[in-house]
Amino acid sequence: MFTRETFKSIALAGMIALGFVAQGKNAHAADLQTLTVAGGCFWCVEADFEKVKGVKEAVSGFTGGTVANPTYKQVTSGGTGHYEAVQITFDADVVSRRTLLDLFFRSVDPTDAGGQFCDRGESYRTAIFTNTPAEKQAAQAAKTKATADLGQKVVTPILDASEFYPADAYHQDYYKGRQLVITRFGPKRQASAYKAYREACGRDARVKQLWGTEAPFVNS
């Protein structure tokens, strides 16, 4: 038979348990970190890194320029100084920043200072953006390792982070989108258009040529 005191004890135990759950959630949320990189077409970088265990989200956008809230047309036309970039949110308890940086270098051509693959111009250059000395140190260590493994000069700069502007909704998750778009390959759903673009641009072929078996996202 439940007494008033028994009920109080059960209620108190329940409240304590809920408190531990809330604390656990808050502690986990505190381990979420961000990494911003530029690797050519942001559709491709987003598609690659959303496959990585521990990555919670990858957002396509622009950073490193001088114009506030730039449009895609402004950035790709040149003159704003922005890079097409991706801001990656990850759980540092599952995947480390250094691991993501190593994956990044091996998913691009870090020897190309003029763009990436078929995409040429300043907005398509590679770069890593850092907020703290520790982040810069991790980026530099990954760059040094990439240079040694590749045996070629790596031109990807490590830059101080600046304002990141998310691209419009049309560009988010383009690689799996269902919207019908007109392309040089004819009318296609976004996901199909993305696959056709990536193959035609030669991204995977060049990455595989450079990195061989170390290329993490190349389709076999």
* Nearest residue to 78 via CA among 130, 37, 119: 119
User: For this structure, is 41 an active site residue?
Assistant: yes
DSSP assignments along 139-154, one per residue: HHHHHHHHHHHHTS--
If we measure between CA atoms, which residue out of 49, 54, 62 comes closest to residue 33? Answer: 54
If residue 181 lies in a helix (H) or strand (E), which one and from where to where? strand 180-183
* Radius of gyration of the chain, Cα coordinates, nearest whole angstrom: 22
| Spatial distance between the Cα atoms of 161 and 138, rounded to a whole number of angstroms | 14
SS3 of 85-121: the string is EEEEEEECCCCCHHHHHHHHHCCCCCCCCCEECCEEC
Which residues are marked as active site?
Answer: 41
